Amino acid sequence: MHEFAIARSVLAAVRAEAELRPGTRVSKIGLRIGDLAGLDADALSFCFEALTKGTDFGSVTLEIERKPRRQGCSRCSKEFVVVNYETSCPACGRRRPFFSAEMNSNSPILRWRSYDADSPRTEGLARE
């Protein structure tokens, strides 16, 4: 279950950021997960909760945003969302392999989106 390792890594990264700002209390962590990540969002949330329960991060909320895979058509330039691995362009019908160079760069695998924290020096710190 790689969701456990990812949850642990996310938690370690946020802890490291919070330690740079003494007195900081993290309240929310946001992740953006692309369709190609192969991650189960429910399993990731479960692992995060298991890792934080009974710790100083026990009240931290993990917010997961799913990001669909987007692809552009080299024939008609239409950009579209890939659903059920169907990569045919809905506008012109051009068919491309699932893993093609035309995948849009706005289709992340896994991206740190944000975290919210309160500290003595900054209120509502948000990082994206």
Q: Is the pLDDT of residue 111 over 90?
A: no
Position 101 confidence tier, pLDDT thresholds 50, 70, 90: very low
The secondary structure of 58-108, three-state, reads CCCEEEEEEECCEEECCCCCCEEECECCECCCCCCCCCCCCCCCCECCCCC
| Tens digit of each residue's pLDDT (9 = 90 or more) over 4-19 | 999 999 999 999 988 8
Taking residues 47-70, what's their average pLDDT? 92
The pLDDT, as a whole number, for residue 21 is 86
42 band by pLDDT with thresholds 50, 70 and 90: very high
The model scores a pTM over 0.75: no
103 strand-pairing partners = 71
Please name the CATH architecture into which domain 1-68+108-119 falls.
Answer: 2-Layer Sandwich (3.30)
Domain coordinates in residue numbering, the chain: 1-68+108-119, 70-103
